Structure 1
């Protein structure tokens, strides 16, 4: 028996949530955690490093990283650099730049809501942004500097455009073409490939095939104009950079070495990555199995299968590209929210309430251990994982976390019965947990993940008189962090210029970088983050001994 809504006994949040309620919840979820911490390893540090270089040197056409060309599509870096420049009076560069992720994420959620309205109806549509934002995999990337978020926004805007082709054909085609062109500027050609078969599918399903085909061909011209403006500027001013960019694109388009293995990994990742959208999409397919040929179900099904194929073959089984699987899965899952049986809806609701209440309590207990030393055993574990960290009581952070916890308790008590209650509680609980982590745990997490102390220690260890620093086995995120925090730039140890350097910086063992420091090199510094105890995890600085010659390397 389907779930029946009822009037609330207490004055709580109406379900489905109104526009302002939904907007406040999503804004709170998205912008919490974007500020208040340093650049972290991997994509966050690399992206902020590129933005830092762009703001410092003004190379808007040709993004660079730590002084070296970084051939990549520039849209996210442009928006992040503009945000960093406009808010430089208020926030440090890395925090202001990271706000670009919040902007792109909100746009993606908004376009998902609009696409759900076109495919389904206004009553069911609010479930779409709740499902997208509530997906576990989405949480990891929505709060970091991540160019794939701009591509995700382009995909959601393209889906919204395609769903309008019959009702508002010109506007739909313009949205699709703009999304396709801007998506290319966000992350290159490969991530936009899934949209082309989906557009052909929409034309085939259209009531006015010829008109839709002509309009979508025109939209392709619009996308080429948007993308071509940057490419033409590169051709005129930096042909070498353009050649490097296209070489990277062609390398990516050559495909994965093991696409079947990538597909297997994605399928194994999806059950937790796309929770709860994946099981709800599965329920939609079962509950609406007689309507699978209708456009509201056929379009997201086809889009998901095409995206799964493209990600497996060209983008690989990585967490960031997997974001592109979420929008069609969410659009497919929307009818499943309102068609759940009463028992399943109640079970999902109770699962969300119990899960997030438990983890919220655990978060508070862990915070007490970090700040007050109780429970003692948990406090010892926190110190072991982050040696040297000292917790401090912050009135504002604790007050905000307490207020969020009380609002969560109020929501549980006052929420009316509704098919939307389960997903509303899930999204609210995820927001509560993330807000507690961002307010109570962030100093401890940042202490263990930032390279600020490592970079500062290295900067103090560098001789005042030096020629240059060669580096080996340093990931882009390390190069970006050293440049961002202390303007430390290095040259590749195997390059002609790097072989003449009098300093050598190695991450991990010299054997990992195929470097020899025997005879003529002396270690003068070693450092790493607090939890990095093994020699293979640390940075090592060597200095060429006086009178010794010979390049580092084999």
Structure 2
């Protein structure tokens, strides 16, 4: 396996890390936010397609309201459907049964990441990389949502694991692992991430440490296994739905860069330069420290060359996206945490102490703010805080939950104990940072979960609008004496998931076949699109940029 040994023997300080702490942190970090809430954001979109696929048995090309799922392969939907069918059969709620797939993939990713670190850097570092990954604030949301990104993250870590032990394993086994990582990346985000990983693999041969017969054979085996695996879904789509295959190839096959007939490239953007620090903190500054310490070793040593090459090519890949998005930064998180971990024990104590102080200050103030807001909002002890909360989320109904308070109170002293250590060094500072992130995330998903759920879920808006409709009209909707329709997919998905009565789809149909129409939009956008319409009823959130449901005749 590729394990770097420094030519200078240096006695490293004894590690006081406890395996149980990593396991406890990971479990708390993973489960907080999985349960007890509705669908947020894009979760509803994927969940609706999973349900439709199960009901209609259209596994090759899931379709909902006449809109096919064609932006990528349905690989994630297949796994989500299997997870839902398996877990709901034993009584687990539907939303949790699909989110459980995310939990499994993130858990497996952290495990594979730790094993790869052991192979690359040695056993001593294998617990640091999962903790540093947990500490990266940017990955929190997709790590707890119904999302394709956990599978992409898994594919990146599987790729790094395969390369970390290619000399110790048989050629076919390593090639199979690499091809599987490429296949998952392709089926989740089409061609771009696969081409990036392939290009990294080829460019590694520029370094003499990777120019050997075994690595060349591994590359060949990987390509020969990957090509038929990757061709399975496109070939089936081409045979059964040739029109939709052409649509995928022309518009979506290049993922974030569009398709072959309509590529979307832009001039280099500063977007990722501005966001990489907070998204990957503390991995990014620690990786910069590692580059400074390694100097020429960063490209002379084959392992560090691999990390540096991946970061450089990955960042170049991100720069030319016409529609940049923070979560694309996960493409370079594995090499960043590898590189940052490699020199964690050389971090000067004053820097480690500063990172620890920053964590204590930041998370301590955030914890005080969350507790103060929770008490003020639910007990109405501060008119100013209550008014501010109502401005951001007027639909929230204050209430106190003893169970939520007990959970939050239990973890608060645990965090205080974990950060109250003397002689802080690099790895302790990283552990404390990860503990702080987990602590704040747990407080948010306990004390603030109801408030956030009311703000991010469409259910309260739908309930409010239904309460505004006269009972006679509502009865007509329920008895199908009148109907409402919408030509907006997001509106159809959200409304039919939570409402008492269903609305009809007018996508690719006449708009006036129902007496009423409904739309999820902002007031400004609605007025601009339908200036002549007199709104009949609408649920409202006070902030102008918030979406609202509008029902009109």
Report the TM-score, using the length of structure 1 for normalisation: 0.86
Q: How does 1:307-456 map to 2 (within 5 A)?
A: 307-314=314-321, 316-413=323-420, 417-456=424-463
Choose 124-133 or 462-471, whichever is displaced more: 462-471
- Distance, in Å, in 2 between the alignment partners of 1:21 and 1:535 is 42
Aligned residues of 1:125 and 1:334 also touching (Cα < 8 A): no
Asked if 1:298 is matched to 2:302, the reply is no
Secondary structure at the aligned position of 2:448 is classed as: helix
- Kindly tell me: are residues 415 and 235 of structure 1, through their superposed partners in 2, closer, same or farther at Cα, counting changes over 3 Å? farther
Deviations 1:153-191 (A, max 9, x none): 111111111222233252322211111112212221122
Asked if 1:164 is matched to 2:165, the reply is yes
Tell me the equivalent position of 1:283. 289
Tell me the equivalent position of 1:483. 496
- Kindly tell me: are residues 208 and 287 of structure 1, through their superposed partners in 2, closer, same or farther at Cα, counting changes over 3 Å? closer
- Distance, in Å, in 2 between the alignment partners of 1:93 and 1:148 is 20
Aligned residues of 2:356 and 2:429 also touching (Cα < 8 A): yes
- Distance, in Å, in 1 between the alignment partners of 2:129 and 2:529 is 52
| CA-based RMSD | 2.9
- Distance, in Å, in 2 between the alignment partners of 1:90 and 1:196 is 43
- Kindly tell me: are residues 353 and 169 of structure 1, through their superposed partners in 2, closer, same or farther at Cα, counting changes over 3 Å? farther
Tell me the equivalent position of 2:45. 46
Tell me the equivalent position of 1:196. 198
Tell me the equivalent position of 1:222. 225
Match of 1:465 among 455, 463, 481: 481
- Distance, in Å, in 2 between the alignment partners of 1:38 and 1:114 is 35
Match of 1:540 among 533, 538, 550: 550
- Kindly tell me: are residues 322 and 25 of structure 1, through their superposed partners in 2, closer, same or farther at Cα, counting changes over 3 Å? same
Deviations 1:189-221 (A, max 9, x none): 122221011111334444563332232222122
Asked if 1:61 is matched to 2:65, the reply is no
For structure 2, which runs of at least 5 residues remain unmatched after alignment? Answer: 1-9
Secondary structure at the aligned position of 2:285 is classed as: helix
Choose 352-361 or 274-283, whichever is displaced more: 352-361
Tell me the equivalent position of 2:518. 505
Secondary structure at the aligned position of 1:320 is classed as: helix
Aligned residues of 1:401 and 1:439 also touching (Cα < 8 A): yes
Secondary structure at the aligned position of 1:469 is classed as: strand
- Distance, in Å, in 2 between the alignment partners of 1:53 and 1:372 is 43
Tell me the equivalent position of 2:238. 235
Asked if 1:134 is matched to 2:135, the reply is yes
Choose 369-378 or 200-209, whichever is displaced more: 200-209
- Kindly tell me: are residues 409 and 131 of structure 1, through their superposed partners in 2, closer, same or farther at Cα, counting changes over 3 Å? same
Give the C-alpha shift of residue 236 in structure 1: 3.6
- Distance, in Å, in 2 between the alignment partners of 1:321 and 1:433 is 24
Match of 2:277 among 265, 271, 280: 271
Give the C-alpha shift of residue 304 in structure 1: 1.1
Choose 458-467 or 20-29, whichever is displaced more: 458-467
Structure of higher RCO (CA pairs closer than 8 Å, 6+ residues apart): 1
For structure 1, which runs of at least 5 residues remain unmatched after alignment? Answer: 8-13, 544-554
- Distance, in Å, in 2 between the alignment partners of 1:488 and 1:295 is 60
How many residues align structurally?
Answer: 523
- Kindly tell me: are residues 131 and 535 of structure 1, through their superposed partners in 2, closer, same or farther at Cα, counting changes over 3 Å? closer
- Distance, in Å, in 2 between the alignment partners of 1:439 and 1:137 is 20
Give the C-alpha shift of residue 68 in structure 1: 2.1
- Kindly tell me: are residues 510 and 382 of structure 1, through their superposed partners in 2, closer, same or farther at Cα, counting changes over 3 Å? closer
Give the C-alpha shift of residue 376 in structure 1: 4.3
Aligned residues of 1:148 and 1:321 also touching (Cα < 8 A): no
Aligned residues of 1:128 and 1:334 also touching (Cα < 8 A): yes
Aligned residues of 1:66 and 1:483 also touching (Cα < 8 A): no
